[in-house]
Amino acid sequence: MPLIEDFRSTTYWKAFILNAFANALVTVFALVLNSKLKQVFVKHDSIVATTLLTLIFTFIAAISAYFLMYALFGFGSGMLSISEDAPPGASLYRVEEISKPKDK
């Protein structure tokens, strides 16, 4: 259950804004981290260590950002989001039985 339920990604515009916000969080974290790591590894001149550490911590930041967006906005359900004009009682988890053709 998202904390901010009125801003779910049920339209293209809302999905675009939420995805841009999530990407901005990750990008800012990656740039700041890379800058700090270059300051630390400037004496060692190790681009491999800087790149590897940036990759690992940026991945962790991306997972964290998307979990945060999911908790706040219910972001990440993609095409499973129910729009505001869905019929009452619509559910994402209802599985309707597919009728099989009868054998003749």
> Could you give the CA distance from residue 23 to residue 44 in angstroms, rounded to a whole number?
31
Q: pTM score > 0.75 for this model?
A: no
- Whether 84 shows a pLDDT value over 60: the answer reads yes
Please report the pLDDT score of residue 89 as a whole number: 61
Domain boundaries, given as residue ranges, for the chain? 25-74
Cα Rg of the chain, angstroms: 21
C-alpha atoms less than 13 angstroms from C-alpha of 34 in its C-beta half-sphere:
14
Please report the pLDDT score of residue 98 as a whole number: 47
Q: List, for residues 13-46, the tens digit of each pLDDT value.
A: 888 888 898 899 999 998 998 888 878 777 766 7
